[in-house]
Amino acid sequence: MTPTITAFERSPDRGRGLARDMRVRWALEEVGQAYDVRLVSFSELKEAAHRRLHPFGQIPTYEEGDLALFESGAIVFHIAQRHAGLLPDDAKARARAITWMFAALNTVEPPIFERSMAIIVEREKAWHEERLRLLEDRVHVRLGELSGRLGDANWLEGVFSAGDLLMVTVLRRLVGSGILENYPRLCAYIARAEARPAYQRAFEGQLSVFTGQPTTG
């Protein structure tokens, strides 16, 4: 059964692949699962019909028969459980890869997301610059730690996993900030991920919503 995911009808990032449907598209492309995309307007996000699928009124959601999921990390995990290619078979290696999924979303993403939020919400405040420096200090701590752990490896645990997929989508939110350039290993890590054919198909898919080209998937 072909699953259906939701994405923004109007891409707030102009198709740069920063919305969280990108994570789900990429996971589906990695495992070779076709999917349909239903576009949702900003007003529909907050209506009862969508909130039945997603209590927090966001995208993406994932529907497959009578199973309905929300939360990009959970959807990526569900895809990784159902198909080969995103989590190792060995139980211990699998637990390690899952650890990186949670680390991406609960340790690395929060300071990066707060920085983006501050730029959107607090840009006009007199204290914006001062606070942005505090936030960027927190981001630098995490990036330094992550870069140190990655070292010269291609992926966080040897082979590409859903942990790398989520981590790269988290890091990509910093593209254009000038911050990533301090961490050449992380830049190379992101570039390695972006070179994957599945990433490129997913990126084209989300970009087509913005450009108005037909959605593939």
Q: List interacting residues with a copy of itself (CB under 8 A).
A: 51, 55-58, 66-67, 69-75, 77-78, 81, 92, 95-96, 98-99, 101-103, 105-107, 109-110, 113-114, 121-122, 125-127, 130-131, 134, 142, 145-146, 148-149
Token pair for 197: 């054919």
186 in Cβ contact with 177 (< 8 Å)? no
Nearest approach in angstroms of CB 210 to a copy of itself is 25
Buried residues in 120-145 as b, exposed as e (16+ CB within 10 A): eeeeeeeeeeeeeeebbeebeebbee
Which positions ≥6 away from 53 have C-beta within 8 Å? 6, 61, 63, 68, 70
Question: For the chain, where are the alpha helices, taking DSSP H only?
Answer: 21-31, 42-45, 48-53, 72-82, 91-103, 109-121, 128-150, 162-172, 184-194, 197-211
- Alpha-carbon distance 168 to 104, whole Å? 8
- Alpha-carbon distance 217 to 206, whole Å? 10
Please state whether 158 falls in left (phi above 0), alpha (psi between -120 and 50) or beta. left
- Alpha-carbon distance 153 to 109, whole Å? 21
Nearer to a copy of itself (CB atom), residue 102 or residue 213: 102
